[in-house]
Amino acid sequence: MDPLQWAIDPWGKIVPIHIAWFLIWVAAIAGLLFVIVHAIYVRYFAKPRQFEPDAVPVDPAKIPARVPRHSLVARAFHWIMAASMFTLLFTAFLPRVGVQFDWVTYHWIAGAVLTASVLFHIFHASFFLDFWSIWPDKIDLRDAWRRTQRFMGKPAPPPERFAKYPLENKLYHGAIIVAGLSAIVTGVFMMSRVRTIFFPRNPYLFSDMTWGMMYVLHGLAGVGLIALIMMHVYFGLRPEKRPITKSMIFGWMSRDFYLEEHDPARWPVEVSPSPARSQAAKTEGLPDVG
Ligand code: HEM
């Protein structure tokens, strides 16, 4: 079973043209298997989570009842990206599994939205958010080792509570960067093969071999995203992760959840300077963090 489709170019050379479309099913089944195995593991085998006590004891009264987690701009980016990502997946893959429609126009428009929103996100995260919060740090690596040891029944101290993002979320973000940027960079070049509003059509920009490899990379990134997005949606719906999903809608998480999972020394509560927020906190009888 060849994972690529090949053709013969005008000079008689064999060149790749696409991935083989059965890879769509390989990715979807891999995503589904991950979900099933994880759900069974959590339901029947996983032990309750344990964390090391916080190095600096926290006074819960100093933590606001609603801990701000995602700004309005960050949430808007997330949902615009999600909408464009789903549009890209459905427009790309439905025609390959028998649902025929004129997909290319919808696809490149969603691709342009995703590209613009990702460019904005890189700028926003670099200059306005805590850029390093999404990259693994030394404590994450030490705790990953401790968690592995404990998983195998060997003696090891429990891990610390998380900073803003658990290691798993950071690794997932890394995988999305690789697959997402591969789809975006190749997709931008592929726009010159079809008619768009951005640049004149020029299918001769690259050799047939280079185009072929570009389509293959685009397709591989695309099927990789099928499995990655399935996992992401599954975790977003799991009951114990719902407070995190809710924070991507409303912007905050409860003090209880924050203190249960996060270490205020590693992720201090952001203090909002907004007077409106302070007033709202007073009206709701919450501690004023503003
Ligand atoms: C979730 C992300 C994406 C997925 C799953 C995806 C998937 C696909 C697939 C499977 C194809 C067919 C490729 C082939 O025939 O070998 C395709 C074509 C195409 N993609 Fe994407 N893509 C994504 C993102 C993007 C982005 C971000 C852009 C633009 C910036 C883009 C632009 C295009 C264009 C213009 C084509 C048509 C090329 C043609 O028909 O010649 N795609 N995409």
User: Residue 168: its pLDDT value, please?
Assistant: 96
Ligand 1 residue neighbourhood (C-beta within 6 Å): 18, 85, 88-89, 92, 104, 107-108, 111-112, 114-115, 183-184, 187-188, 190-191, 193-194, 215, 218-219, 222, 225
Q: Which of 136, 156, 161 is nearest to 146 (CA)?
A: 156
> For residues 208, 209, 213 and 214, what is the CA-based torsion angle, rounded to 10 degrees?
-40
Longest dimension (CA), the chain: 77
Among 5, 84, 190, 204, say which to mutate for ligand 1: greatest number of ligand atoms within 8 Å of CB: 190
Q: Which of 222, 227, 233 is nearest to 110 (CA)?
A: 222
Atom 21 of ligand 1, nearest CA residue: 187
Length of the chain: 290
User: Residue 271: its pLDDT value, please?
Assistant: 62
Whole-model pTM above 0.85? Answer: yes
Q: Evaluate whether 277 touches 283 at the Cβ level (below 8 Å).
A: no
Among 80, 109, 218, say which to mutate for ligand 1: greatest number of ligand atoms within 8 Å of CB: 218
DSSP state of 165: S
CA of 85 to the centre of ligand 1 (A): 11
Cα separation, 183 vs 177, in Å, equals 10
Instruction: Collect the ranges in the chain with pLDDT lower than 70.
Output: 271-290
Q: Evaluate whether 146 touches 159 at the Cβ level (below 8 Å).
A: yes
Instruction: State the DSSP H helix or E strand holding residue 52, giving kind and residue range, or none if neither.
Output: none
User: Residue 151: its pLDDT value, please?
Assistant: 92
Atom 5 of ligand 1, nearest CA residue: 222
Cα separation, 282 vs 90, in Å, equals 46
**In sequence order, what are the residues at sequence separation of 6 or more whose Cβ sits closer than 8 angstroms to the Cβ of residue 180?**
114, 118, 221, 225
